[in-house]
Chains A and B, each alone.
Chain A
Amino acid sequence: MNEPRDTVYLDHAATTPMVPEAITVMAEELARTGNASSLHASGRVARRTVEEARELIAERFGARPSEVVFCSGGTEANNLAIKGLYWSRRAQDPSRNRIVFSSIEHHALLDPVTWLAKHEGADVDMTPVDAAGRILLDELRASVAADPARVAAVTTMWANNEMGTIQPIRDVVKIAREHGIPVHSDAVQAAGYVPLDFAGSELDAMTITAHKLGGPVGVGALLIRREIEATPLLHGGGQERDLRSGTIGVALVAAFATAVDVTLSRQAETVARIERLRQRLVEGIVHLVPDAIVNGDPLPGADHRLPNIAHVTFPGCEGDAMLMLLDAQGIECSTGSACAAGVPQPSHVLLAMGYDEIAARGSLRFSLGHTSTDADVDRLLAALPAVHERAQRASLVRSTA
């Protein structure tokens, strides 16, 4: 049980293995000394590495280098985007205190928004979603139009982290643009799996993070247009356009850039392979467990859903029991729900999609990635019938207790 085992890793949406090229670059950079803000030769070398990383990431995501603000990751980038936009827009006009966001945002966006509502007087308006987990544009339009002059920012994630449903970002931008409202999108899950063009999207700010696309944990970026003002969260040495003070982790951003470069170069090919694996996985599950429900948008493609996520409800089962039984066999997936003290809470995303609490608790998220193979799918499908049967029994015990 404690020996290293042959793990079937089906939780790439949580974090995905680093690409070997990024590990190499990171190790090399860690061996070098130099603060990118120093004026001497070592500092200049560090700065050059950082700026080359910035340029590479900008190029790959259709942004200008000056639009890339490095930070610690998705949570920080989302906080900077929503709090920064809110504070700066409200400073321009004190009556501008509305935030329009979607009901399926990650906690890294949801919680800063609710914090602003509680502590900073924000008037927050949540856009509902349909049964596939896609925001209702008419609702968004009505919400914005209700009092557009007072809207500080609109934010909608690019692709949902639990369901993989891709959001109509272009339409969101169009609705907000009519009223000159800045738009942010959390693209953490989308990056690496769908083409992202920051300039083409006409977004004002977009969150990406390294560890979801083959880079290290601990570094991410907010892409934010030059003309957009945002109030910083961290004050200090004035790095990153004064938007994010703090010494830049040279090795982290270098590895981030390498991962972006490698992953996006192979994106089309990887996505096609993963989509095929996902199809096998989903068909296999439904074949073995006929009453299993595959959630989200069934259609593939960059307008529909991510290629790597399969979110499945197993009626009459508890997700955490299945997770444990699969884990015991070296198969790792997620219940896709947030934890407080490790207590699984029913996912707010599923509840927003209209699921009841029991169905929300009976779901698992399988997410594939660049290292996934047919053998991984085979192992899952081989283990599933017995696991499902046991979890069903455990659930029965509970409901009759």
Chain B
Amino acid sequence: MRVVAAMSGGVDSAVAAARAVDAGHDVTGVHLALSRNPKSYRSGARGCCSIEDSNDARRAADVLGIPFYVWDMSDEFADSVVEDFVAEYTAGRTPNPCLRCNEKIKFAAVLDRSLALGFDAVATGHYAQLRSADDGTIELHRAIDMGKDQSYVLGVLTQRQLSHSLFPLGDTTKDVVRVEAARRGLQVASKPDSHDICFISDGDNAGWLTEKLGPRPGNVVDEDGTVLREHEGAYAFTIGQRRGLHLGVPADDGKPRFVLDIEPVSGTVTVGPRERLAVDGLECIKPLWCASAPVGRLECTVQLRAHGDEHRATLTVEGDDVRVELHDVAFGIAPGQACVVYDGTRVVGSATISSTSRMAVG
């Protein structure tokens, strides 16, 4: 096959490209430039937008002996990912931009461009596995390295997208990937992993949003509505957040308080005890199924954040509405997060959480 290997400049995508070459594919390395001004997003050496990352990707491609190009995806990224991120936070939700990037950029804009240019597939360094079912359906499964598993951020991919994807690292642990990178003479073997949102250079999401949106003062209140302090912008808070609330006086019961609710219009942030974060039901919208949509009720597990726990659940699908009854209580779940549905290790699909139902506190 003719394969585009998306190369971020990190160790995973470099080894993924190497394995695609080993598998006999005709591989072309592509680094996605997500900002036209290479300094505008990430300034450090990690992430996906710096000149250094582009050069690291190029050097890895040199070592592998494959052609290498930089594709300018900055307009698409700004429109589909950054703008969406800002809009979601403005609306008081907590988006995951990595899912959005996979849905709209890597396995959409990049994949479509690749197919149009005569390629057959896109390979990435995501830790996830693809398997062919007996009926020819391509299934997405968790990676064997559960610590690195990234099937969650791929839960937005449809059958068509999966059928043109390659995840060469799904059967390997990260340690092995690093050793393999070193053995192959790839300089990025010891490059640190990136964890933060790639377009926020210092990992300070709240600071980035404040700069982007300007101050929007509001109040932090307790569950009775008593004002505890003022704040500069509700987007500095996430549901479930405990640190950095700066409440001064302790709660009456002396227990730590958490963000329970964010009301985007008034900017009111409600705090309260941890047990009030317990969620046993979810309403989800905009489902994306890896194959055909499940019908009726489905016993499954769900994952509600990247590297989060699995929760046993019962799913009820009615068109574009998905109701999730959680059998294992979840804490700190915010609208905007993705609910990714699993059947064992297989990803069934995903949907965006629109509201949560709190357990009655007894």
Interface residues of A (CB under 8 A from B): 1-2, 320-321, 324-325, 327-328, 339-345, 390-391, 393-394, 396-398, 401
B70 and A398 within 8 A (CB): no
B31 contacts across to A, CB distance below 8 A: 342
Question: Interface residue count for B (Cβ, 8 Å)?
Answer: 29
Which B residues touch A398, using CB under 8 A?
76, 109, 112-113
Contacts of B286 in A (CB 8 A): none
Residue B171 CB within 8 A of the other chain: no
CB distance from B320 to the nearest CB of A (A): 22
Nearest neighbor of B70 in chain A, beta-carbon distance: A342
**Can you name 29 A-B residue pairings with CB atoms under 8 Å?**
A1-B65, A1-B66, A1-B67, A2-B65, A320-B69, A320-B71, A320-B72, A321-B113, A321-B117, A324-B69, A328-B28, A339-B70, A340-B36, A340-B38, A341-B33, A341-B50, A341-B54, A342-B33, A342-B54, A342-B69, A343-B70, A343-B72, A344-B70, A345-B36, A397-B116, A398-B112, A398-B113, A401-B76, A401-B109
Give me the interface of B with A, judged by CB distance under 8 Å. 26, 28, 31, 33, 36-38, 50-51, 54-55, 58, 65-67, 69-72, 74, 76, 108-109, 112-113, 115-118
In the bound assembly, the distance between CA atoms of A339 and B112 in angstroms comes to: 24
Contacts of B72 in A (CB 8 A): 320, 343-344
Per DSSP, are chain B's interface residues mostly helix, strand or loop, or mixed? mixed
**How far does the alpha carbon of A320 sit from the alpha carbon of B69 in the complex, in Å?**
9
Chain B residues contacting A325 (CB-CB under 8 Å) are 117-118
How far does the alpha carbon of A391 sit from the alpha carbon of B114 in the complex, in Å? 10
- Specify the chain A residue showing the minimal Cβ separation from B80: A401
Q: Which residues of A contact B28 (CB under 8 A)?
A: 324, 328
* Residues of chain A with a CB closer than 8 A to B26's CB: 1
Q: Are A391 and B109 in contact (CB under 8 A)?
A: no
Q: How many whole Å from A397's CB to the nearest CB in chain B?
A: 4
The distance from the CB of A349 to the nearest CB of chain B, in whole angstroms, is 18
Which residue of chain A has the shortest Cβ distance to B104 in the bound complex?
A401
| Contact flag A343-B36 (CB < 8 Å), given A1-B26, A328-B67 | yes
Contact B112 A401 (CB under 8 A): yes
Q: How far is the CA of A345 from the CA of B55 in the complex (A)?
A: 17
| A5 vs chain B, min Cβ distance (A) | 12
Output the least CB separation between A351 and chain B (Å): 14
Assess the B113–A397 pair: CB atoms within 8 A.
yes
Measured between C-beta atoms, what is the minimum distance from A113 to chain B in Å? 21
> What separation, in Å, do the CA atoms of A396 and B72 have in the docked complex?
16
**Is B108 a contact of A341 with CB atoms below 8 Å?**
no
Q: Apart from A325-B117, A345-B36, A390-B117, what 7 extra A-B contacts exist at CB < 8 Å?
A: A339-B70, A340-B51, A341-B70, A342-B54, A391-B117, A398-B112, A401-B108
Contact of A341 among B51, B69, B118 (CB under 8 A): B51
Across the interface, which residues of B come within 8 angstroms of A2, CB to CB? 65-66
- A398 to B38 Cα, complex, angstroms: 22
Q: Which residue of chain A has its CB nearest to the CB of B64?
A: A2
Closest residue on chain B to residue A395 by CB atoms: B116
Q: B70, A324: Cβ atoms under 8 Å? A: no
Measured in the bound complex, the distance between the Cα atoms of B21 and A1 in whole Å is: 11
A339 to B38, CA, bound (A): 11
Report the minimal beta-carbon distance from A1 to chain B, rounded to whole angstroms.
6
Chain B residues with CB under 8 Å of A328's CB are: 28, 67
**Within the assembled complex, what's the spacing in Å between the Cα atoms of A328 and B26?**
11
CB of A341 within 8 A of CB of B67, answer: no
